């Protein structure tokens, strides 16, 4: 069932969406040629647009908070713990003897979590499960990286979650026992709006600690309008997150789509 869900999800997002629209235009051409050509042109224009850094940056900037958390904000908020959410992973990494380890986004979160711990001395909870393929839970190698590579202790490991919703649910079960409700929430800047809303639904009082800003960059130049893989990947990240916001709102799992 999980594989079928992931397949449907892949068709609903680029590039699967454009493959689906291309096939649809071919199937419709004989009976509805004008509709088929219109669908094909819309698909080409949309593919070009999301392949540019200009569109990718603007989509991402819409999601990201205006600024990073400051030391003064942390002192005023008086958090009780740092929660670092799981992200991407590298499976069967040959350079690590075939072990699973952190991908690029996750490594950025871990580094920032370590930085915040050094600033505040707050205990850290890492949250990340095995994924849909029964792999090593992310929390295990997240804790290992923090402790062995960043020399930062990890107080709790939440290792069952598959989604952001489950990150919050299972983290609450752990932190409630420690009497912790006020947290510094560490995740990618584009992932922060949904994460804040979900963790708030589970009774946490959150201070956003976003990292890995992608949309807030220097002024626009002509190359931002060139299509390429960098713009496409950036747009896909933003579109995936927007789809997640809409999904949770439609399901009634979060109240607002923006913090």
Local structure of residue 13 (DSSP, 8 states): S
**Per residue in 81-104, pLDDT tens?**
999 999 999 999 999 999 999 999
- The pLDDT > 90 percentage for the chain reads 77
Other CB atoms within 10 Å distance of the CB of residue 198: 23
Highest mean pLDDT pick, 9-23, 72-86, 203-217? 72-86
Compute the average pLDDT of residues 166-195: 96
CA dihedral 98, 104, 195, 233 (to 10 degrees): -120
Domain residue ranges in the chain: 2-62+224-250, 69-211
Q: Identify the pLDDT of residue 156.
A: 98
Q: What is the CA angle 53-54-60, rounded to 5?
A: 80
pLDDT confidence bin for 257, thresholds 50/70/90: very low
**Count of helices and strands (H, E) across the chain:** 10, 7
Q: Tell me which of 3.90.1150.10, 3.30.2270.10, 3.10.20.600, 3.40.50.620 is the CATH number of domain 69-211.
A: 3.40.50.620
**Per residue in 150-172, pLDDT tens?**
999 999 999 999 999 999 999 99
- Whole-prediction pTM value? 0.89
């Amino acid at each position: 069932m999980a594989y079928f869900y992931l397949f449907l999800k892949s068709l609903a997002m680029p590039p699967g969406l454009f493959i689906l629209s291309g096939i649809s235009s071919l199937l419709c051409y004989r009976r509805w040629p004008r509709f088929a050509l219109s669908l094909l042109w819309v698909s080409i224009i949309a593919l070009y647009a999301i392949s540019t850094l200009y569109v990718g940056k603007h989509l991402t900037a819409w999601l990201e908070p205006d600024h990073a958390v400051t030391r003064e904000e942390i002192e005023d908020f008086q958090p009780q713990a740092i929660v670092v959410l799981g992200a991407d992973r590298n499976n069967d990494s040959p350079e690590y003897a075939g072990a699973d380890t952190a991908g690029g986004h996750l490594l950025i979160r871990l580094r920032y979590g370590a930085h915040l711990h050094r600033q505040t001395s707050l205990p850290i909870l890492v949250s990340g499960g095995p994924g849909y393929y029964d792999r090593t839970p992310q929390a295990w190698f997240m804790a290992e990286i923090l402790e062995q590579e960043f020399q930062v202790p990890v107080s709790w490991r939440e290792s069952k979650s598959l989604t952001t919703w489950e990150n919050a649910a299972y983290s609450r079960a752990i932190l409630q026992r420690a009497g912790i409700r006020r947290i510094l929430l560490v995740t990618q800047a584009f992932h922060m709006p949904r994460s804040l809303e979900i963790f708030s639904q589970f009774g946490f009082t959150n201070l956003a600690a976003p990292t890995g800003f992608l949309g807030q960059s220097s002024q626009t130049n002509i190359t931002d309008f060139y299509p390429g893989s960098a713009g496409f990947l950036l747009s896909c990240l933003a579109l995936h997150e927007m789809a997640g916001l809409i999904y949770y709102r439609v399901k009634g799992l979060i109240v607002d789509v923006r913090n």
